[in-house]
Amino acid sequence: MKLHGYFRSSASYRVRIALNLKGLSAEHLSHHLRRGEQHAPGYLAINPQGLVPTLEGDGGSVLTQSLAIIEWLDETHPAPPLLPKEPLRRALVRAFAQVVACDIHPVQNLKVLARLRELGLAEDKVTEWAAWANREGLMACEKLIASEAGPFCFGDTPTLADLCLVPQLANARRFGVDVAAFPRLLKAESAAKALKAFAEAAPERQADAE
């Protein structure tokens, strides 16, 4: 398999964790987002959004969108499972993941922040925007798992929720959010980061890290 990504892309980071948890290896192809390499015609031919990640399967399949890729990995390589078996629990995990993947991440990604700059927004206001999106979303995440014993977001093994949480907390810190306001999220993060699969997927551990 080939994973098209970028060390700092939090959506790529989610997929790297999933691959590691499943014990799968992939060739990592880096597209430097700040240099606009994701808009090269060759890449757009496989991912018309010009976003990372994209996973190319060995049989020529091309998958986009990190959550769809992770659910595919989970369906085709079921151990260890990244979603609970029970439908209601699956829905809770997916909802948590979607708060991150729908309501936080796309509102603070490179593309949207670039657009804000084009509209004339000063750099401190751009950072404030990104911090706002992270703060609001993570506050909801904190409440969604407040009564979950853990130590992971949902139970004693990592799920899709943890795969989304850990990269997003890294972004939140980068934008200056005071993450101490989210003790339950930090507990899950700490459990996750103790695992090799998470540690080795970290941005700073990637070959394209700057």
Positions in the binding site for its own copies (CB under 8 A):
48-49, 51, 57, 61, 63-65, 67-69, 71-72, 75-76, 87-88, 90-92, 94-95, 98-99, 101-103, 105-107, 112, 115, 119, 121, 125, 129, 132, 136-137, 139-140, 143-144
- Rounded CA-CA distance 69/57 in Å is 10
Closer CB to its own copies, residue 29 or residue 95?
A: 95
Task: Check: CB of residue 137 under 8 Å from CB of residue 159.
Answer: no
Q: Which is nearer to its own copies, 34 or 125 (CB)?
A: 125
Question: What is the closest distance, in whole angstroms, from the C-beta atom of residue 36 to its own copies in the complex?
Answer: 15
Complex with its own copies: residue 175 or 195, whichever CB lies closer: 175
Nearer residue to its own copies within complex by CB, 79 or 207 = 79
Measured CA to CA, the distance from residue 181 to residue 127 in angstroms comes to: 19
Q: How far is the CB of 32 from its own copies (least distance, A)?
A: 20
For residue 173, the minimal CB distance to its own copies (Å) is 21
Q: Smallest distance, Å, CB 192 to its own copies?
A: 21
Q: Which CB sits closer to its own copies, 4 or 195?
A: 4
Using the minimum distance from each CB to its own copies, give the nearer residue, 30 or 108: 108
DSSP the chain: -EEEE-TT-HHHHHHHHHHHHHT---EEEE--GGGTGGGSHHHHTT-TT--S-EEE-TTS-EEESHHHHHHHHHHHS-SS-SS-SSHHHHHHHHHHHHIIIIIIGGGSSHHHHHHHHHTT--HHHHHHHHHHHHHHHHHHHHHHTTT---SBTTBSS--HHHHHHHHHHHHHHHTT--GGG-HHHHHHHHHHHTSHHHHTTSGGGSTT--
CB of 204 to its own copies, least distance (A): 25
